[in-house]
Structure 1
Amino acid sequence: MAGVPEKARFYLERAVPQLREFEAKGIFTADEIRSLVRKRTDFEHVVLSPGNKPTDWLNYAAWEKSLESLRAKRCRRLQIRASSKHTGQGRVFGILERAVNRHPSSIELWKEYLAYAKDMKATKRYRKVMTRALRMHPTKPELWVVAGRRSAGNGDMQAARGFFMRGARFCSRDATVWLEYARCEMEWLERMDAKKGKRGGTQRALQEQAEHSDDEIKFPEEDSEDDDADESNRLVLPNPENSTAKKVFDEEATKKLEGNPALDGAIPLAIFDVATKQPFFNASIAEQFFNLFATFDAVSAQARIIQHVLESMTQQYPHDPATCFCHIRQPLINVGTSTPPYPKALREALGHLKSSLSTTSDKFRLAEKIESWAESILTSEDLDPGIRIVLEHTVQSLPKP
């Protein structure tokens, strides 16, 4: 078996053509190239040593990316157009590929690999790497979130839902996937509501919701006789490029879909309802759902969704400080501190606070939440003096441990 020096020499020799191009075109001087070779040799010896760590590979990839960035800047300054960027990108991809093969359990390496493929717009490589990462770490919620949000960002909500639903099945001990799934759906509702305000937007929103042709992650059958063994043993991700053409909806079909519950917040509600039955669910997780839904003030179904969350919290955790805190904040949702309705909403919230302090199971914990919330409002410079006095008095009158 070859030792570390022999392996390092093998990888270093593959970079010789690029170094010759640097020298021939004057991108780097001879002294700079010698310095590059020494630095690259040091990195190769480190990552090929038996005790290498994932951080060593990350540092190596970061250095190569900085070198490629410097090469691009000098080419622009020297007006050199014949120098290809693919060689430098290929070296970074090669390092990251070796890194995940050497440390397949490192989530940071997989995430760095995916981030670089996304930045370089290497769609096919991104899909392949994501497939491998999910098969290797199906119980890591952050990978499912990255996959889902990537698809949603590209406008493929059906593929995004497929990722989130599969991730929710594997990650039943953590609320991360569920919360991000709900966030993604709320963002989708926000976009749909924005489309409704435009001419023909309602029909386009209904058409987008009705497309279900590419909403799953497919596992090939074990007895598949595909000619490509690697393809048959790999998770197949939805590919928006291969999706079928959009169906044409006539006016009659559109009218039938106008009552589509998905456009009225049914999916976020379903996510929350299913999450309440999971082992990780508690009052704190319910409060996180409440806080998440409260940020989407442009969603028309927000009030109904928040009310549903509060009713569920009241039923399961009636006296928990988290439930009381959400009830106190409910009147103030979407009400700006400088708007005329704010004093009335604040009066209602303080009324809930007074009753909650006498019924909550932990008044000191509730007082901490109220104090933190009030202080965040008091930091506003344009806050009305009367409201400021009321909030300061409220904070001072809270029970202390």
Structure 2
Amino acid sequence: MERVQFQQEQMLDELKDLVEKKVFTAHETKKIMKQRSSFEATLVRRVAKKSDFLRYAAYEMSLEHLRRKRVDRLKIPKTPVTVSDFALVRRQFHIFERALKRFKSDVGLWIEYIQVAKREHARSLLTPNSALQLHPKVPALYILAASHELDHLSPTAARSLLQRGIRLNSDSIEMWTEYVKMELSFTESLRRRWDILGISQVETRDQDATPDPDMTDENTNSTDSPAPKDAEMDRLNQPGAEGARARRQILDGVIVKAIMDSAVQALPRIELFESLNKLITTYPSTPVLRASLIAHLDNLLRSTLFEHPRAIKILYTRLLTSTADVASQASTSTNANVEGLRGQALIDGIRRANEMLISVVSETRQESVRQVYAEFALEWCAVENLDENLRLYVLSSLQALIWRQKSSSPSLLCAHIKLMTEAAQRGTVESAKVLAVARRYTSRAPGVASVWLSRLGAEKVLNDSVDAVAKVWHESRRMVSADDGNLVDIWIWGIYSEDIQEKRLNLFEELLNESMGDPSVHRVHEQLVLGYVTALYQCRKGAKTGLETDQTLHKLHHMQNRFVSTGKVWQRLFELEAEGSGDERELERVYELWRKSDMVEATLGWAEWLLKNGKGKEGSELIVRSKGSVGEDEQTALETRWVGVVGAI
């Protein structure tokens, strides 16, 4: 009780001070008191929520923001610090501390608290011990605390925090990336400071010479750069040959490279390389340093994961950017954008990338590596306004690789067919030659759907005979392996080229009859039935075709008797009807067909529709009736999920 009274007295003191300074009116302070009382009453209830604390803290933050704005607007003269200058911020911290006592395990709450303390420059509150003792496996906490230390020119403390975090989270890509980023930031801050002090210019003229004797401590402290607050920075600023050598090594990125080495040794994963690559190529460091770090990263990548497809992509992409010329740019430039190559540089870049990829593909049999080369060829030949001779160079290189290796790689074969088809459309390759190559390639890989799809694409645009294209499509359905992941794409390839809905529906029925004769394509059959249901619904809804409801139901019964119809098929039809006309009679008929395949899903679907359409009693009765037709597990599932449906609505 005494504590509450003491808090109220403090509260009155701060509000009185605000009134005396004319920041708030007496009426406003009364409203503040009333609002705070309301928040406090909420917090002392038996089960306070985290959101209650956050709303209270947000209210105090808005008050502090308003106080600062009014102080600036009213141009209140500066006076010795009084209670109202810090009380609102202090109250924010107090609310967070109370929340953290109750929700110690909430990582998000700790992060919000640290961010508020950082924003208010409350360095003493940012000691991470409490949070990190409870959550030693949360990288974000180490990163926030280290960032704050670095902002206050204490790289040693920041480095110590990140190293501690890495010891406990050595498998965290985020931790390693932030560690490298911190060292990059540290290097850049030193470079800028030394530029201001004139140290780097002196060393440029004579790397072994000592700094200008006129550069005294007094001159150093007179610069706009903040004075160092870290023993390590003090040592680096020392004059003499030893200090000069240390500064040269730092500007060359020796610290950053050492951290990269440690990161790769601890976590040799492609995700780490991708993260570091993004950081280094976009961080606003000097072009010389960036080029040096990129070269070091590429060397690590070659020695660690050279045959990884994503590693190869990083390396060949490097040859297609202007980073190789970055060292020739102004040393003070901090432009992080890498410009694309143009003209002769682009030609040379594509040539170098193409040669590198061919060399890698020639030494491996991994399809994933070949796919990288195929993607490269397709991507760069599709570049707008690319010189035709350059396209033909890539095309001929790809063709030579296939012929030399007698390759049956689906990736390479598909890419070659697609590029030749595009060349034929531009008039640089004969159509007959393209179709002949496509036929030869499907004979090399007869069971691969992707190669057949590439051939079908070529046949569609280059073959004038509709019957010939239809025969190729039929052959592809017969030849492609039932285990191929793209088998469904083969079967539906020609369906959606039909613009007339009734013809599309008839084509679906033909394919369904064909698939019924082959048990190995059961997966395709289900997808065809799903497509058939959608086409049937669209055909009935079409303005020109006008299939009536009774005709639709007749077809549905025909589908049920003739084709293998799963619960998923009837569910799809039910959803289409519910989204469309929503006719209750027809939906009930669909439900009766659906429940024969999946009683639980059908019952829940129909009961939910009834509930949403004002017939909750009928829906509940349906659930009760259906429980008698299913097993014990299904009864439990029905009850649990129905409660969830009712609660959500």
DSSP 3-state at the match of 1:49: coil
Mapping 1:234-383, distance limit 5 Å: 243=231, 246=234, 249-254=238-243, 257=245, 261-278=249-266, 281-296=268-283, 298-331=286-319, 332-334=321-323, 336-337=339-340, 341-352=345-356, 361-362=367-368, 366=372
- The partner residue of 2:186 within 185, 188, 193 is 188
Structure 1 residues 50 and 322, CA, compared in 2 at 3 Å: closer, same or farther? farther
Give the CA deviation at 1:65.
0.9
Give the CA deviation at 1:166.
1.6
Structure 1 residues 324 and 16, CA, compared in 2 at 3 Å: closer, same or farther? same
Give the CA deviation at 1:178.
0.8
Task: Assess if the C-alpha contact under 8 Å between 2:154 and 2:230 holds in 1.
Answer: no
Match of 1:226 in 2: none
- The partner residue of 1:166 within 164, 167, 182 is 164
Give the CA deviation at 1:184.
1.7
Q: Bigger CA drift: 15-24 or 97-106?
A: 15-24
Structure 1 residues 196 and 329, CA, compared in 2 at 3 Å: closer, same or farther? farther
Task: Assess if the C-alpha contact under 8 Å between 2:322 and 2:341 holds in 1.
Answer: no
Give the CA deviation at 1:339.
6.3
Match of 2:131 in 1: 133
Task: Assess if the C-alpha contact under 8 Å between 2:146 and 2:161 holds in 1.
Answer: yes
Larger radius of gyration, structure 1 or 2?
Answer: 2
Structure 1 residues 12 and 48, CA, compared in 2 at 3 Å: closer, same or farther? farther
Match of 2:53 in 1: 57
Distance in 1 separating the partners of 2:232 and 2:317:
46
Match of 2:145 in 1: 147
Distance in 2 separating the partners of 1:21 and 1:250:
52
Task: Assess if the C-alpha contact under 8 Å between 1:43 and 1:60 holds in 2.
Answer: yes
Q: 2:261 is aligned with what amino acid?
A: D
Distance in 1 separating the partners of 2:388 and 2:44:
62
1:39 aligns with 2:31: no
Q: Bigger CA drift: 50-59 or 283-292?
A: 50-59
Q: Deviations over 1:338-370 (max 9, x none)?
A: 766455334433554566678565369858997
Distance in 2 separating the partners of 1:173 and 1:350:
35
Q: Bigger CA drift: 261-270 or 84-93?
A: 261-270
Distance in 1 separating the partners of 2:374 and 2:50:
40
Task: Assess if the C-alpha contact under 8 Å between 1:203 and 1:254 holds in 2.
Answer: no
Distance in 2 separating the partners of 1:243 and 1:107:
33
Match of 1:381 in 2: none
Return 5+ residue gaps in structure 1 as ranges.
207-239, 379-383
Distance in 2 separating the partners of 1:355 and 1:302:
27
Task: Assess if the C-alpha contact under 8 Å between 1:8 and 1:45 holds in 2.
Answer: no
Structure 1 residues 362 and 56, CA, compared in 2 at 3 Å: closer, same or farther? farther
Distance in 2 separating the partners of 1:361 and 1:270:
34
Q: 1:288 is aligned with what amino acid?
A: S
Match of 2:99 in 1: 99
Task: Assess if the C-alpha contact under 8 Å between 2:118 and 2:148 holds in 1.
Answer: no
Task: Assess if the C-alpha contact under 8 Å between 2:316 and 2:356 holds in 1.
Answer: yes
Give the CA deviation at 1:284.
1.9
Aligned length: 352
Q: 1:157 is aligned with what amino acid?
A: P
Task: Assess if the C-alpha contact under 8 Å between 2:277 and 2:294 holds in 1.
Answer: yes
Q: 1:110 is aligned with what amino acid?
A: W
Structure 1 residues 63 and 363, CA, compared in 2 at 3 Å: closer, same or farther? farther
* Identity across the alignment (%): 25
Return 5+ residue gaps in structure 2 as ranges.
208-227, 324-337, 396-414, 423-449, 455-485, 487-649
Task: Assess if the C-alpha contact under 8 Å between 2:322 and 2:340 holds in 1.
Answer: no
Structure 1 residues 193 and 339, CA, compared in 2 at 3 Å: closer, same or farther? farther
Q: Bigger CA drift: 7-16 or 67-76?
A: 7-16
Structure 1 residues 242 and 328, CA, compared in 2 at 3 Å: closer, same or farther? closer
Structure 1 residues 352 and 77, CA, compared in 2 at 3 Å: closer, same or farther? same
Structure 1 residues 12 and 192, CA, compared in 2 at 3 Å: closer, same or farther? closer
Distance in 1 separating the partners of 2:298 and 2:313:
10
Task: Assess if the C-alpha contact under 8 Å between 1:72 and 1:85 holds in 2.
Answer: no
Task: Assess if the C-alpha contact under 8 Å between 1:290 and 1:306 holds in 2.
Answer: yes
Q: 2:340 is aligned with what amino acid?
A: T
Structure 1 residues 143 and 324, CA, compared in 2 at 3 Å: closer, same or farther? same
Distance in 1 separating the partners of 2:25 and 2:72:
16
1:115 aligns with 2:115: yes
Structure 1 residues 66 and 387, CA, compared in 2 at 3 Å: closer, same or farther? farther
